[in-house]
Amino acid sequence: MTRRRSISLAVVATVVLGWSYYSGQKPRLVVYCAHDSIYAESILRDFTRQTGIAVATRYDTEATKSLGLTELLVREKAAPRCDVFWNNELLGTLDLQDKGILAPYRGHGWQRIPENFKDADGHWTGFAARLRVCIANGNVADAEPMVRLNVGVLALLDASRFAIAKPLYGTTLTHYAVLWQHWGREKTIAWHREWRVRGVRELNGNATVKDAVAQGVCDFGYTDTDDFFEAKDAGLPVFMRPVELEESRATICIPNTVAIIRGTRRETDAQRLVDFLLSAETELALARSKSRQIPLGPVPADQVPAEVRDLQTWAQHAAPLTNLLSARNECLAWLKSEYVQ
């Protein structure tokens, strides 16, 4: 046999062996996860350890958080690959529900979550939330009273010292949708355009916003509580205040959501994962993690870290998000026309 034939045979054998190994693997529960992989991974590993159900996870990137996976689920609607969607926000999940992609399930996990954080039919359920916050660099004079200012007033400051993530995705999109609902289309568009003209720093994601503020590149920024605590844990000079809407003083509390994809072939396993994620143990684990997620269901108060208990107080004054789908879709359509030309 010539060398060339040997090589060709080796290539074919490698491909065939690789393929047969891949296709012969035990089918896994496929989870699309928009939550930060560094926190989600240990939770999903615990699930596998406890139940023996193997999980294959597709994570999203920080920069395109959640929306990438939401869009993928829409595209895969005809032939779904995903069994369970763990989103790190609500509005994308509402959109999927609207498009008929989610299957209802009301298990014992669903029952322990308050009404305003779940779908009545069980198409989705919220858990472990974050707050939208204004983060400030501690070395900036008068920063503390300034973070208490509302969105409209803050925009009047030096915009080039203010950072925000691109509003096309993730929790920044939720933030915009809340403003869209609260202010209306015209005011939101005018505010956004003026802010950009005046040089606001638009960055990749909330983590980059946190970095920019923590390192003094910017004085203020909009981010989430989990990013703020990362900077605080690293000993960086930052402090924060939850974003509050004018007049109502309502905060923006964004839960993780979990849903089963319609057409899943592993319904029982999917339901077990949903119940696992909605359990008090998982909420406590996420509260105790570095991301300090706020438990939404009842958990023993003495087991919740003090910092998270403070956040729970703020979360009680959260603006409702479940009615924001149309605002989100209108806002997103406009943002796409603004950014993708």
Binding mask 164-193 for another protein (x = CB under 8 A): --x-xx------------------------
Show contacts with another protein in window 257-296 (CB under 8 A).
Answer: none
| Beta carbon nearer to another protein, 58 or 266 | 58
Among 43, 203, 294, 331, binds another protein (CB under 8 A): 203
CA of 176: how far to CAs of 9, 146, 180, 198, 319, in Å? 57, 21, 6, 18, 13
Tell whether residue 3 is a contact of another protein (CB under 8 A). yes
Tell me the backbone φ, ψ of residue 201, rounded to 5 degrees.
Answer: -85, 110
Nearest to 184 by CA among 298, 22, 327: 327
**CA 209 – CA 324 distance, rounded (Å):** 25
| 115-154 binders of another protein (CB under 8 A) | none
Q: Does 340 bind another protein (CB under 8 A)?
A: yes
Q: Which two tokens stand for residue 249?
A: 């003083």
When binding is defined by CB under 8 A, the residue of 51, 204, 279, 322 that contacts another protein is 204
97: which 2 tokens? 């529900």
Q: Which helix (H) or strand (E) holds 264?
A: none
Tell me the closest approach of the beta carbon of residue 324 to another protein, in angstroms: 17
Total of chain residues touching another protein, rule CB under 8 A: 56
Is the CB of 172 or the CB of 312 nearer to another protein?
172
Distance in angstroms (rounded) separating the CA atoms of residues 270 and 232? 36
Q: How far apart are CA 103 and CA 54, in angstroms?
A: 21
Nearer to another protein, 84 or 245 (CB): 84
Q: Give how far Cα 105 sits from Cα of 116, 247, 272, 303, Å.
A: 17, 37, 11, 29
Burial class (CB in 10 A: 0-12, 13-18, 19+), 6: exposed
Rounded to an integer, what distance in angstroms lies between the CA atom of residue 245 and that of residue 243?
7
Residue 205 engages another protein in binding (rule: CB under 8 A): yes
Does residue number 26 form part of the binding site for another protein (CB under 8 A)?
no
In the complex, least distance from residue 61 CB atom to another protein, rounded to whole angstroms: 5
Kindly tell me which of 21 and 247 has the beta carbon lying closer to another protein. 21
Question: Which one of 48, 51, 63, 157 is in contact with another protein (CB under 8 A)?
Answer: 63
Closer by beta carbon to another protein, 64 or else 171: 64
Q: Which of residues 225-254 bind another protein (CB under 8 A)?
A: 230
Cβ of residue 110: shortest distance to another protein, in angstroms? 26
Complete DSSP assignment for 150-166: -HHHHTTS-GGGEEEE-
Q: How far apart are the first and last CA of the chain?
A: 58
Nearer to another protein (CB atom), residue 56 or residue 189: 56
Q: How far is the CB of 273 from another protein (least distance, A)?
A: 15
Give 109's Cβ-side CA count (13 Å radius).
Answer: 28
For the beta carbon of residue 213, count every other beta carbon within 10 angstroms: 33
Rg (CA), the chain: 22
Footprint of another protein on 66-95 (CB under 8 A): 67-68, 70-71, 75, 79, 81-82
- Least CB distance to another protein at residue 62 (A): 3
Query: Could you tell me which stretch among 182-190, 210-218, 239-247, 255-263 binds another protein (CB under 8 A)?
Result: 210-218
Q: Which residues bind another protein (CB under 8 A)?
A: 3-4, 7-8, 10-11, 14-15, 18-19, 22-23, 28, 30, 36-38, 41, 56-64, 67-68, 70-71, 75, 79, 81-82, 166, 168-169, 201-205, 207-208, 210-212, 215, 217, 230, 332, 336, 339-341
